[in-house]
Amino acid sequence: MTKIDTSFDTRHIWHPYTSMSEPLPCYPVDSASGVTLHLEDGRTLIDGMSSWWAALHGYNHPVLNEAIKNQLDKMSHVMFGGITHRPAVDLCKRLVEMTPDPLECVFLADSGSVAVEVALKMAFQYWHAKGEKRHKIVSLSHAYHGDTFGAMSVCDPKNSMHSIYEGYLPEHLFAPTFTLGFDDEWDDSAVDELFTLVEDNADDISAIIVEPIVQGAGGMRMYHPNYLKTIRELCGHFGILMIADEIATGFGRTGKLFACEHAEIAPDIMCVGKAITGGYMTLSATLTTRHIADTISNGEAKCFMHGPTFMGNPLACSVALASLSLLDNGAWESNVSRIEAQLKEELFVLKGHEDIEDVRVLGAIGVIELKTPINQEKMQAYFVENGVWVRPFNKLVYIMPPYVIKEEELRQLTGSLVNLLNRPDFKEFLA
């Protein structure tokens, strides 16, 4: 069999957040099964990334494979305008059942970024239908909500793409990031600045958007549930919509089915994606309340103004439904609890290391925050040489493995992290 043309890849294919003039090496994957990536050269890597949060059941899962195959024999795609089909109906029914009670209207989209775009448009169109011009969104510093223009506009204004696209992005309002960790003692003064920001701009604010409990790509921060409770109370008090971006945290990653459950709150709009299909296909959903849906639908436009070509793709909906059915047996909960306990035991030994700012764990997420940015190419090569797939960035070395990972496989992952930090030449792996 002809090998993957890596020279063409290097010369012509733009990978996420990489340079075409100085591209980082890419490792050719031939196949994947369970929690293992099989490289073309015969090496195997234990996957610590779940393909960026998505492959929660591992790879090549027989139930998910069967769902795809069965649907493929019927139809791979059909437009969703004026047509419906069983995979979409059954999936949306399941999403309504498993998400917080007030959420009962589902808009299917193609990716996490698009789900956020949809959520923002819902918020703006809701207020437009009510005859109010509210053009501001409140977000947090260190937030990350996606790479499309609307989603970028509510990402961290200093540490994201804002500076490059200044003048093109809408200008929104940013509160300081949350400083109290998940297990810290609560202090009411921690939300003073957020309260002042909302109070001073309440008449212009359409919604507050937040990643519940865990800020993802903006720094992998894990914060106190009372922040969420405060946002819910603020939104209720000032009549502002609350958007929960559960794209990364949804479907069990933090130890709860949805991270909002840690605070026992329900948002007005919720975005889900990534793990929804078990990593098989791109799909996302934005859910909202009947009140918001009716208000939009009875407004000037008489409809919600969005409609992706591949909305409700039957293949994606079928595998998503199968993925969610795998969560129904409850095994994910004990697996995530087991992973969390092992991550704490094996990573917390690094606390106090001279090069480490912090080590934090929640659910099936383990994070090592360094004091200095990493040399990505060199550190990536180290992990591959040690038989694991870990994709560090900036100052973060983190893992979020599939829920089906075995104890010894996880130990290989954590061991590679600990051994790296304890190398006498570790500083050579820093930028």
Evaluate whether 401 touches 50 at the Cβ level (below 8 Å): yes
Beta strands in 193-273 (DSSP E): 205-210, 214-215, 221-222, 241-245, 269-272
At residue 49, the 3 state secondary structure works out as coil
Residue labelled with tokens 């918020």: 123
Task: Find the radius of gyration of the CA atoms of the chain.
Answer: 22
17 labelled catalytic: yes
Q: Catalytic annotation on 144?
A: yes
Single out the catalytic residue among 144, 223, 382, 398: 144
How far the first Cα of the chain sits from its last, in Å, is: 38
Please, what sign has the CA dihedral across residues 270, 215, 420, 23? positive
Which amino acid is it at 198? Answer: V
What is the token pair recorded at 82?
């004026």
Helix extents (H) in 166-224: 192-201
Catalytic (active site) residue 371: no
Q: Are 257 and 94 in contact (CB under 8 A)?
A: no
In this structure, how many other beta carbons lie within 10 angstroms of the beta carbon of residue 120?
25
Q: Which of 17, 133, 165, 187 is catalytic?
A: 17
165 catalytic per annotation? no
Instruction: Report CA-CA distances (Å) from 35 to 74, 159, 309.
Output: 30, 32, 33
Per the structure block, which two tokens stand in for 24? 């980082």
11 burial (CB, 10 Å; 0-12 / 13-18 / 19+) is exposed
- Which DSSP helix (H) or strand (E) runs through 358? strand 356-362
Report which of 395, 392, 390, 399 is spatially closest to residue 358, judged by C-alpha positions.
Answer: 395
Among residues 47, 110, 156, 245, the one annotated as catalytic is 245
Decide: 91 and 317 in contact? Cβ < 8 Å.
yes
How far apart are alpha carbons 186 and 405 in whole angstroms?
34
Q: What is the dihedral of CA 202, 241, 194, 253, to 10 degrees?
A: -170
Q: For residues 234, 235, 237 and 240, what is the CA-based torsion angle, rounded to 10 degrees?
A: 140
- Pick the closest to residue 378 from 24, 53, 99, 95 (CA basis): 24
Query: Do residues 103 and 250 touch, judged by C-beta distance below 8 A?
Result: no
Which residues are catalytic, by number? 17, 144, 245, 274
